Structures are given as structure tokens and as C-alpha cells.
Amino acid sequence: MDQSDPFAGLAGPDGLQQLTGIIWRAASQILAIDRSKVAWRAKSDRSPVSAADEVANATIVEGLSRLLPGVPVVSEEDRKKPSAVGACFVLVDPLDGTREYLAGRDEFSVNLALIRRGKPFIGLIAAPALGLVWRGAVGRGAARLRVAVGAAPQEASEICSIQVRERRRDGLVAMVSRSHFDPKSNAFLKRLPIIAEIPCGSSLKFTRIAEGSADLYVRLGRTCEWDVAAGHAILAAAGGFITTADGGELIYGGAPDFYVPGFIAWGDAGAAAQILNQGHAESP
């Protein structure tokens, strides 16, 4: 491994397959657990964590330790997170959308992102219940794979390239959080020409924009880097991008406790520029 750039080579087909294999093993383990009987508890922030989160986390961390030895891994479910991450590190959410998972819905995901110098470089999102994986490397494009539970990524029944769409003339389609829709985000959307809002759980909101079925996703409430980074990388690889609420660049690894104060995920750059120039993106 190149110590100056431990991610060198991972954006190629072989590297992406290895990363996909890691998160898909975790995804398959999540599905092997009976959701109706799974043990769970509330964390200090009152968010739920289940045995499925912990099993997936152990699988991902072990896989990354072999693929990227010595590279810091910041996971939502690790009780002790590194205080410093350096130029290259990994962000992991082993089960994003635990509330959806426990409620019996299929809108939960496994998220993994490789961060280089504060910016997302590679991102992968697996949707275990849907049999889908989205992955992308910035500057290299993005794709969606259909994979059976327990199968290897190279056995995918479908692999298709994805990209964002241009803004529709009749207005914007917005992805909205099913469990975390906050008043600031709602107020922001009311100032835009929104023709439809699609509620969705977990990081799947990013994938819908990346594959061209929606235009933006606004989250002006506080969240965490591991909730955003994988979707950010995939979206950027598909031609979209993410900004802070005022249009600035979202940087990873610099904020205390890896918190993000808010963001806007965009598909069409022209639509984003128009909205930001008109001052719509100012925080309420």
C-alpha cells in the first residue's frame, strides 16, 4: 500500500469490487437477522442501535483493517472515535436508518466513504432489503448494482451507470427525510418551486438524486459526517454536488465529534447556482 496515498488504486474496478464486497457482506448479515426479534437499545442521544448495527460494524471494520491497514476508520458505532484522522480516513455508518429497519421498512442502508484531504473520494451505499448497491469514485463516474443476498459483487445481475438529471422546467422534486424532517429544511423548501416531495429514509435520498429521479435534498438540521459522506461521493461522481446552507464547500474531518451543521444536496448545477444567487439558501 502506498503510505503517501493509501487509497491509490481503489477507484479502479478491482478496488471498488473489494470495497463493495466488504459492505455487501455486512448487508447480507443484517438481512440474516430477524428484525422482529432483534435486540436494540437507545444511545445517549436517544437514537436506536441494534444488534444488526453492531454485527455490520464489526464486519466492515475487520474488512477495512485488512484492505487499508493503519488508515483511521470513523464509524458511528465505535464507542471510541479517533481524535485526529490525518489526510486520509474512512467514514462508516454500518446501518443508516435504524429507525426504518426496526419499523420493518426497507429504507435502510450501509454507508462507506473514503475521505482524502477533507473531500469525499469514493462512496458506497448498500440497500440490503432492496438488493442494490450504489458506488462512485469522484472523477470516475457512478454505478448501481443489483446483487443477490449472499452473492459476491462480481455476480451482480445488473450493473448500470448513473448520472444526475437536468432541472425540470416545471419545478423541482425534493427528497425529504422520513424521520428527521426539521423546520429549517421545511422553511427552505417552501421558498423553492417544489412540485413534489418524496419521503425516504437513510442515505437512499442521495442515491435518488444521483440516478436522476430527484433534484435536491435539504438537511439544515445537525447531522453526522458518516450520514452524508458516502452519498456525497456517489452524488459527486454522478455529476451532482453538496454545499453548506450558504453555498460553501462541505469539508470532512475538521469539526468536533464529526458533526455537520447542515447541507444541501444538488443534482443540476445550474439550478443550484440560480437558487443560491437569488439568496434562497440563506439559513432561516
Mean pLDDT over all residues of the chain? 92
Domain 172-277, CATH class in plain words:
alpha beta
Q: What is the mean pLDDT of residues 86-104?
A: 95
With beta carbons less than 8 A apart as the criterion, state whether 50 and 95 touch.
yes
* Predicted confidence (pLDDT) at residue 106 exceeds the cutoff of 60: yes
| Residue 268: band (very low, low, confident or very high) from pLDDT cuts 50, 70, 90 | very high
Say yes or no to pLDDT of 284 above 50: no
Query: In a 3-state reduction of DSSP, which class is residue 278?
Result: coil
* Predicted confidence (pLDDT) per residue in 20-68, tens digit: 999 999 999 999 999 989 999 988 778 889 999 999 999 999 999 999 9
Range with lowest mean pLDDT among 78-82, 94-98, 192-196, 217-221: 78-82
Cα separation of 48 and 39, whole Å?
10
Cell (9 digits) for 81: 472515535
Residue 153 predicted with pLDDT over 70: yes
pTM over 0.85? The answer is yes
What is the rounded CA–CA span in Å between residue 243 and residue 232?
10
Query: How confident is residue 2, by pLDDT bands cut at 50, 70 and 90?
Result: low
Question: In this predicted model, what pLDDT tens digit does every residue of 220-231 receive, in sequence order?
Answer: 998 999 999 999
pLDDT for 280 equals 47
Q: How far apart are CA 21 and CA 15, in angstroms?
A: 10
Q: How confident is the model at residue 1 (pLDDT cuts 50, 70, 90)?
A: low
| Cβ atoms of 142 and 136 closer than 8 Å | yes
User: Residue ranges of the domains in the chain?
Assistant: 13-162, 172-277
Domain 13-162: which topology?
A: Fructose-1,6-Bisphosphatase; Chain A, domain 1 (3.30.540)
The residue behind cell 423553492 is: 192
CA distance 140 to 272: 22
